[in-house]
Chain A
Amino acid sequence: MIGLTRLAFLMLYRDRAKYLALVGGLAFCTFLIAQQAGVFCGVMLLTTSTLRNVGATIWVADSRTEQINSPVPMRDIEVNRVRSLPGVAWAVPVFLGVLPAKLPDGSVQNLQIVGVDAGSFVGAPKVMVEGDIQSLLLPEAVIMDQVALEKFASRGVQLRIGSRFEINDQEASVVGFCHTKRIFSGFPHAFTTYERALQWVPPQRKLLSFILVQPKPGESEETLVARINQLSGLEAFTTNGFRLETMRWFFRNTGIPVAFSVVVLIGAVFGLWVTGQAFFLFVHDNLRHLASMAAMGATQGRLAVMVMFQAFFAGAVGYGIGLGLTAGFGFLVLPAEVPAFYLPWQLPVTVGLLVAVICFFAGGLGVWKLRTAEPAMVFK
């Protein structure tokens, strides 16, 4: 059988035009699907970046809050109510909101403000590049992220420690720099204390975005979430629950998933069509030779294995090239983080399975064609 497989390989590989059409079609289809799905996963990841930038075990929100990027504000008093619930080790407020920063040239840049509890610094930047978090206690202090550096620089403002600008017409002074995960809106981050953030916003009755909660040791996250939901009238989420809830919101309320699904579907249908056709043609053109082999004593089963091998060989090579191109694309865009790109291991596996299905159908089509390769036809 190994020998026949080698012959099958030669038959395919040396048929350059058809081999390239097959491999090219599969590579293109793999690249199209994996790359688009990767960008989609990247975008979906952006929608929940705040979960990682702020970081908390349990998030408590107003019950009308649907996703992390648009909190419905609560009254400050809710923090104390949650803090007093059984099983809560600590609970701190966090403010999340978008405020305009005015640059020296008069232009405006929206900032994602994160106001963290000044006592615990829960929610403060995870990766400091320059300066330290304690400096947030200084008057007018903000810590800016790499996106801010970039955006300000593009307007001719080189941010450094000590740089000053206005946030919502009030003075801010840069005390440090951090690195954050980019967020869906693309706005730069400005971290400050909860109290200072509230001074920057126009006064309102409710300004509390989320309450970040840590369960007591031994208390399970799920139980505590359920208890907070029951006792406070607010809505609590585990980090993972909130992530799924947010992604679900984007699925229900934006065209993003549909747009990407269409491209993926086109890729799959195109792949199936081109590959199926090219492979059918390949088997058709070699039918006479396959029939000769049948006359010379190769069983239909063995010929079927040869044809299937050819389909899957082309599939493996095409998939490899397509995935290589996808990885190349990833390495190209990842440093800039635009467009967003994320390739969880499930993605190549899924695309691989899809390619396998395509090859199975193409090969099956070939085997179906093979059925007509009567050994007696070789005498015709």
Chain B
Amino acid sequence: MTAAAAIRCTGLSKSYGSGETSVLALRGVDLEAYTGEMLIISGPSGCGKTTLLSIACGTLRPDAGRIELFGQDLGGLGPDELAALRRKDVGFIFQQFNLVPTFRARENVAVPLIIAGMNYGKALRKADEMLATLGLADRTRHFPAQLSGGQQQRVAISRALVHQPRLIICDEPTSSLDAAAGHAAMQILRDSALAKDRCVVVVTHDPRVFGFADRVVTMEDGRITQVKSQVASKDGPTPEHTP
């Protein structure tokens, strides 16, 4: 199988602030992620994981380096062109789920479709279908506050998948969940999000879920220090294997 590169980053560097308070968050990062794989980016807090993820999906511009998303160079694109690209190709799962509290589950899930210009009613129907796929058929009209953490995470995953993007970006998807719910969420990502023509990139510093990934990239102080390929366990790591 010759998997296509979903993300190809070369020589990325990024610093925040200027002068004495300037922080060098990325110092020359090369990274590739392929369709059909689940890639985990790990490393201690503050090592630059989120920065790398933000740049890789076109929400943040690097100071130097080059990013290609599905073969397209992001360097020459303006903000609206980047937005159009994300709208079509990227699904997001945020750390705190980032569900709008005043939207029902189905309305939250429909957001990417509505942003893409789909008719409102049709978008809601699609959202209902997506929620049903993830076992939330009876929760479509609930507000986020009426759902458990795990259910909220499933709504967030539904929102990331509903418009069939080719790249799914997850920043610390399990950090606000307990171990069991976190494991379940990764399982859903592995089962429902991952597909032949889709790449899933997960940032996490939780070693208990590393087993779900096809490759684990380890970062330290703005650099990639290790890339480990492995045979991903179909049901994730068994509890005995977790360190």
Interface string of B155-180 (1 = CB under 8 A from A): 00000000000000001000000000
With A376-B54, A376-B59, A379-B94 as contacts: A297 and B171 at CB distance below 8 Å: no
A369 in contact (CB, < 8 A): no
A289 in contact (CB, < 8 A): yes
Could you say which of B59, B98, B102, B123 contacts A14, with CB atoms under 8 Å apart? B102
Most buried by A among B50, B90, B92, B100: B100
- Please provide the chain B residues from 20 to 77 with a CB less than 8 Å away from any CB of chain A in the complex: 50, 53-54, 59-60
B107 in contact (CB, < 8 A): yes
**Alpha-carbon gap, A300 to B80, bound state (A):** 8
With A3-B123, A376-B54, A379-B54 as contacts: A296 and B115 at CB distance below 8 Å: yes
B81-89, B133-141, B221-229: which lies at the A interface? B81-89
Cβ A297 vs Cβ B103 within 8 A: no
B119 in contact (CB, < 8 A): yes
> What is the chain A residue whose CB lies nearest that of B97?
A292
CB distance from A369 to the nearest CB of B (A): 17
**Alpha-carbon gap, A378 to B53, bound state (A):** 12
Cβ B111 vs Cβ A293 within 8 A: yes
Cβ B80 vs Cβ A301 within 8 A: yes
Question: Which of under 10, 10 to 19, 20 to 34, or 35 or more describes the interface residues of A?
Answer: 20 to 34
> What is the chain B residue whose CB lies nearest that of A289?
B100
Cβ A297 vs Cβ B84 within 8 A: yes
A63 in contact (CB, < 8 A): no
With A14-B102, A299-B83 as contacts: A379 and B95 at CB distance below 8 Å: yes
Could you say which of A3, A289, A376, A380 contacts B114, with CB atoms under 8 Å apart? A3
Cβ B59 vs Cβ A298 within 8 A: no
Q: Which residues of A contact B95 (CB under 8 A)?
A: 379
Could you say which of A11, A288, A295, A302 contacts B92, with CB atoms under 8 Å apart? A295
A216 in contact (CB, < 8 A): no
Q: Which residues of A contact B102 (CB under 8 A)?
A: 10-11, 14-15
- Please provide the chain A residues from 11 to 28 with a CB less than 8 Å away from any CB of chain B in the complex: 11, 14-15
CB distance from A301 to the nearest CB of B (A): 7
Cβ B114 vs Cβ A379 within 8 A: no
Cβ B116 vs Cβ A297 within 8 A: yes
**Alpha-carbon gap, A374 to B92, bound state (A):** 15
Grouping DSSP codes into helix (H, G, I), strand (E, B) and loop, the B interface class, with mixed when no group exceeds half, is helix
Cβ A10 vs Cβ B107 within 8 A: yes
Cβ A6 vs Cβ B120 within 8 A: yes
Could you say which of B50, B87, B118 contacts A297, with CB atoms under 8 Å apart? B87
Q: Which residues of A contact B59 (CB under 8 A)?
A: 295, 374-376, 378-379
**Alpha-carbon gap, A374 to B50, bound state (A):** 14
**Alpha-carbon gap, A1 to B118, bound state (A):** 9
A133 in contact (CB, < 8 A): no
With A3-B114, A3-B123 as contacts: A294 and B83 at CB distance below 8 Å: yes
A336 in contact (CB, < 8 A): no
CB distance from B205 to the nearest CB of A (A): 14
Q: Which residues of A contact B79 (CB under 8 A)?
A: 299-300
> What is the chain A residue whose CB lies nearest that of B54?
A376
A77 in contact (CB, < 8 A): no
Given contacts A3-B117, A374-B60, A379-B95, 14 further A-B contacts (CB under 8 A): A3-B119, A6-B120, A286-B100, A289-B100, A292-B111, A297-B84, A297-B86, A297-B116, A299-B79, A375-B83, A379-B50, A379-B94, A379-B171, A380-B50
Enumerate chain B interface residues (CB-CB to A < 8 A).
50, 53-54, 59-60, 79-80, 83-88, 90, 92, 94-95, 98, 100, 102-103, 107, 111-112, 114-120, 123, 171
Contact sample, A vs B, 21 pairs, CB 8 Å cutoff: A2-B120, A3-B118, A3-B119, A3-B123, A4-B114, A10-B107, A11-B100, A15-B102, A289-B98, A292-B98, A295-B86, A295-B92, A296-B92, A296-B115, A297-B112, A375-B59, A375-B83, A376-B59, A376-B60, A379-B50, A380-B50
